Chains A and B, each alone.
Chain A
């Protein structure tokens, strides 16, 4: 029997392997090569106006010796964790509603499309739209003052870490909602009824059945959000008034002032952090088995 299956499988394998060739070429040219290049450039010697390929550790030492750079690393990690938490905290209940409690498939699709409507405008518009919302004379302050809930405008709303977090949460929440709602939508309703029939109340059913079955969705969502938040620079640039510097902002500034070596060091560190985060998430759930 094995002979027969091999005979069928082998020509297939040989015949189909060229299908991934364009993908491999694309990835090699535009991902592997640039990453190797960044690693290489990070060891180049940088002078004020020039860069030479003489190998040195100077830029690496400078990164870890400077509070600005290590500070940016920790800010990135902190903002990432906070946004991951807020997108989960807002996204999970939303996904639970859309994916599980809405019985009609049509309605749940409509609700998911509504979640995507903000994406019809450009990323920068979505970020900048928060300014008239959060500003000192912005919509939120005006409404709160009109309602006499506050007498002076709340100033921490804009150009602070808070505004960056609010902005990022809004932009990335949908990436958490989507995968979770998808996994929840796939749960057989009979399973939940079976658990109820065996005497489990809603809390038990949620923690023992629904949440474990939705976990792959949470992981996929978390990976989406993590990758995007860790590489962010636009939201922090536009909403923090340059007070919040993420690794992404450092790269933008360094490239802007032609400090290629330092930009590369930051880039390598960012890539390593993302790699570790994704690896950690994939350890929690075996996605190969679940999807």
Chain B
């Protein structure tokens, strides 16, 4: 019974390993034809979540629904959900063609030999592996193996494909290319992808929606730009790896931190008082310059050239590293003297402030 556009839904799923909760009451759903990315640090339970949906793990509590049907007790090989492994898990003794055709040849539904051949060839062509059909899987490159893994899953025409850090085993260059390709292939097939990753850039770039997981709980879900500009908690801000975080005290619309007491116009309720300012919002001024906003004295350590921007690292007297990003489109980068002190400042409206005493 399909009541909504959700392709799958998990409801209060809990899973523990030896007393440690890998998943703690996770509820999540994804729509038809959607690219959802699942961001979390290692140990956050994201792989466990995929394995529960795929049927490799049985949840201790909660239900899993797929296409409106409760599949919690359906074995993995009868679910019809695709799974792409981080290590690709190709069959080492079979050729590219046999790897791709495996599901059609040995799966639940029997398909005629002629149809198997046509479908295999079509998928191989689609992922761009034409000419490699009869190679062994140890005779092809990492990117090609990734394509075999994807083709092997897509040939079964699943409505949902789970990808467990699919780009993790590739080098940076290839990862960028495969990102575009994954999106293009998904759009062509019209299936839902649930993509697990530990990389915030990958999660933000690829997903139509992003779900942030921490210690077995979903701590935020939403559109990438929404999650990026409005992290729901200090933990999310931390995972996004785009914010300098300062602890301090929020009181009556004012935040007191290492940079002084500044107005906090935009606050979000959280268990601890944390001040978050994006790397590219911070400016470094020479020592002695007058600022009427926050002022944080820090010494310059090093800078890192990132192509479109320069990342400068400063260290506060108490040893905390503050990152300052300068976009090169905004002009040539300033040069800083190593071991010299500077004043870091920013416009208070651009900060995101978390606190128990918040106005929202």
Q: Is the CB of A198 within 8 A of B92?
A: no
Beta-carbon nearest neighbor of B80 in chain A? A199
Which residues of chain B are near A200, meaning CB under 8 Å? 77, 102-103, 106-107
Contact of A199 among B87, B92, B109 (CB under 8 A): B109
B89 contacts A213, C-beta separation under 8 Å: no
Query: Is A118 interfacial (CB 8 A cutoff)?
Result: no
Task: Please give, as numbers and ranges, the residues of chain B lying within 8 Å of A196 by CB-CB distance.
Answer: 56, 75-77
Q: Is B177 engaged at the interface, CB distance under 8 Å to the other chain?
A: no
Whether A195 and B85, one on each chain, are in contact in the complex, defined by CB atoms closer than 8 angstroms, is: no
Asked if B89 and A198 make an inter-chain contact with CB atoms under 8 angstroms apart, the answer reads: no
Specify which chain A residues have a CB less than 8 angstroms from the CB of B147 in the assembled complex.
none
Q: Which residues of chain A are within 8 angstroms of B102 by Cβ–Cβ distance?
A: 195, 198, 200, 208
Residue among B90, B93, B153 with max Cβ neighbours from chain A (10 Å) = B93
Among B81, B89, B152: residue with most chain A CB under 10 A? B89
Contact between chains at B56 and A193 (CB < 8 Å): yes
Is A209 touching B91 in the complex (CB atoms < 8 A)?
Answer: yes
Min CB distance B97 to A, Å, is 14
B218 interface hit (Cβ, 8 Å): no
Chain A positions within 8 Å of B103 at CB level: 198-200
Contact between B87 and A188 (Cβ–Cβ < 8 Å)? yes
Residues A208 and B106 in contact in the complex (CB < 8 Å), given A188-B87, A198-B152 = yes
Q: How many residues of B contact A (CB 8 A)?
A: 27
* Cβ of A190 under 8 Å from chain B: yes
**Closest CB of chain A to B81's CB: distance in Å?**
7
- What chain A residues lie within 8 Å of B80 (beta carbons)? 199
Which residue of A193, A198, A213 is within 8 Å of B106 (Cβ)?
A198
* Interchain CB contact under 8 A, A193 and B76: yes
Contact of A191 among B81, B91, B156 (CB under 8 A): B91
Q: Does A9 contact B (CB under 8 A)?
A: no
The CA of A212 and the CA of B102, in the complex, are separated in Å by: 14
- The reply on B82 being an interface residue by CB < 8 A is yes
Chain A's closest residue to B93 (CB) is A212
B106 touches A204 (CB 8 A): yes
Tell whether, in the assembled complex, residue B89 and residue A188 are in contact, meaning their CB atoms are under 8 Å apart. Answer: yes
The residues of B that contact A209 with a CB separation of less than 8 Å are 91
Residues in A with CB closer than 8 Å to B156 are 198-199
Interface string of B38-59 (1 = CB under 8 A from A): 0000000000000000101000
How many angstroms from the CA of A191 to the CA of B91 in the assembled complex?
6
Question: B83 on the interface (CB 8 Å rule)?
Answer: yes
Write the chain A residue with the least CB distance to B102.
A198
- A15, CB-defined interface residue at 8 Å: no
A182-211 residues with Cβ-Cβ distance < 8 A to B are 188, 190-191, 193-201, 204, 208-209
Interface string of B77-114 (1 = CB under 8 A from A): 11111110101011111000000001100111100000
Cα separation A208 to B82 with both chains bound (whole Å): 20
- The smallest C-beta distance from A201 to any residue of chain B, in angstroms, reads 6
Could you tell me if A190 and B109 are in contact, using CB atoms closer than 8 angstroms? no
CB distance from A204 to the nearest CB of B (A): 4
Contact B89 A191 (CB under 8 A): yes
- Smallest beta-carbon distance A14→chain B, Å: 32
User: Separation in Å of the A215 CB from the closest CB of chain B?
Assistant: 9
Minimum Cβ distance to chain B for residue A257 (Å)? 52
Chain A residues within an 8 Å CB radius of B89: 188, 190-191, 193-194
Report chain B residues within 8 Å CB of A193: 54, 56, 76, 83, 85, 89
**A198/B107 contact (C-beta < 8 A), A191-B92, A212-B93 known:** yes
Q: Distance in Å from the Cβ of A143 to the closest Cβ of chain B?
A: 42
Residues 4 to 52 of chain A near chain B (Cβ within 8 Å) = none
CA distance A229 to B85 in the complex (A): 44
Task: Give the residues from 163 to 199 in chain A that come closer than 8 angstroms, CB to CB, to chain B.
Answer: 188, 190-191, 193-199
Docked Cα-Cα span, A193 to B47, in Å, equals: 14
Q: Which residues of A contact B56 (CB under 8 A)?
A: 193, 196-197
Using an 8 Å CB-CB cutoff, how does the interface string of B152-196 with A read, 1 for contact, 0 for none?
110010000000000000000000000000000000000000000
Is the CB–CB distance between A195 and B91 below 8 Å? yes
Choose among A190, A199, A204 the residue with the greatest number of B CB atoms under 10 Å from its CB: A199
Contacts of A208 in B (CB 8 A): 102, 106
What is the chain A residue whose CB lies nearest that of B108? A199
Q: In whole angstroms, what is the CA distance A34 to B56 when docked? A: 58
Q: In the complex, how many angstroms separate the beta carbon of A191 from the nearest chain B beta carbon?
A: 5
Known contacts: A190-B85, A190-B87, A208-B106. The answer to whether A197 contacts B92 by CB under 8 A is: no
Tell me the minimal C-beta distance from B164 to chain A in angstroms.
Answer: 9
User: Nearest chain B CB to A123's CB is how many angstroms away?
Assistant: 37
A212 / chain B contacts, CB cutoff of 8 Å: 93
Distance to closest chain B CB from A189 (angstroms): 9
Contact check, A195 vs B106: say whether CB atoms are below 8 A apart. Answer: yes
B82 to chain A, nearest CB (A): 7
Residue of B nearest to A208 (CB): B106
Give the distance in Å from the alpha carbon of A34 to the alpha carbon of B26 in the complex: 73
Could you list 29 examples of A-B contacts with CB < 8 Å? A191-B90, A191-B92, A193-B83, A193-B85, A194-B83, A194-B85, A194-B89, A194-B90, A194-B91, A195-B102, A195-B106, A196-B75, A196-B77, A197-B56, A198-B102, A198-B103, A198-B106, A198-B152, A199-B77, A199-B108, A200-B77, A200-B102, A200-B103, A200-B106, A200-B107, A201-B77, A201-B108, A212-B93, A213-B92
Q: Give chain A's interface residues, CB within 8 Å of chain B.
A: 188, 190-191, 193-201, 204, 208-209, 212-213
Q: Which 10 residue pairs spanning A and B have beta carbons closest together?
A: A199-B107, A198-B103, A190-B89, A194-B89, A204-B106, A197-B83, A199-B108, A200-B106, A196-B77, A196-B76
